[in-house]
Amino acid sequence: MKVGRAAPEVAKRRGDYDAWFAALTGWGDAAKVVSPPDGDALPSPSTCAAVLVTGSSAMVTDAAEWSERTGAWLAELVRAEVPTLGVCYGHQLMAKALGGRVGNNPRGRAIGTREVRMMPAAHGDPVFHGAPEVLTVQLTHREVVLEPPAGAERLIRAEHDPHHGLRFGPRAWGVQFHPEMDTDYVRLLIRQRAAAIREEGMDPEALEAGLRDSDDGAALLARFGAFTR
């Protein structure tokens, strides 16, 4: 489910988000791209072997028609136990659709490389099992899951976000970080948003200097791809 687009100058060279996820999960050409913001129809859950929902520059709290429609569809997928992973916007949309609450993080914008920590429930999880205790990840977001839906289990916490990774059901997960992004792309985003970052009291140059490469995000997507196969 493609709900956002990569920066055009990067998409020309490396393809758009859907291509990144198809490669990192190992789905390749088997992946079908559906773009709700462009008016694409949502497939019947019974026809889906697995679903991944990308990030977006849109805000879940804007409650756009396509977003609300997609959220209701995602809730159906979770109930049908279709393997589903939501990333950033996808994570928040799943949480909201299942009864959770999403909004601006009271700790402000998060962008750059951060460390996040596995929770005890993650160790026996089929997708998170085998990940390091502390993951180094790339992220960019302002909104977060403020209250998880009933029954959701916390799998990952961050210093700025206690609900950074959630299991919504036996085969449904969400992560707030961006496992598909590398430091080159996050550096571009920091530079594009430097003025807003400064206005919010942060130092874009320091954020750039703190960027660190890591394979932890790519490894998560590979495990999700293996689980779906």
Q: What is the pLDDT at residue 86?
A: 98
Q: Indicate the Cα dihedral angle 85, 215, 114, 116, nearest 10°.
A: 60
Question: Among all residues, which ones are annotated catalytic?
Answer: 88, 178, 180
Q: Express each pLDDT in 61-80 by its tens digit.
A: 999 999 999 999 999 999 99
Q: What is the mean pLDDT of residues 4-13?
A: 92
Q: Express each pLDDT in 144-203 by its tens digit.
A: 999 999 999 999 999 999 999 999 999 999 999 999 999 999 999 999 999 999 999 999
Enter the tokens of residue 223: 């495990």
Residue pair 7/15 in contact by the 8 Å Cβ criterion: no
CATH superfamily of 8-228: Class I glutamine amidotransferase (GATase) domain (3.40.50.880)
- How many CB atoms within 10 Å of residue 62? 9
Query: What CA–CA distance (Å, rounded) separates 84 from 65?
Result: 21
Residue pair 152/168 in contact by the 8 Å Cβ criterion: yes
Reported as a pLDDT band with limits 50, 70 and 90, residue 143 is very high
Q: Give the contacts of 63 (CB within 8 A, at least 6 positions apart).
A: none
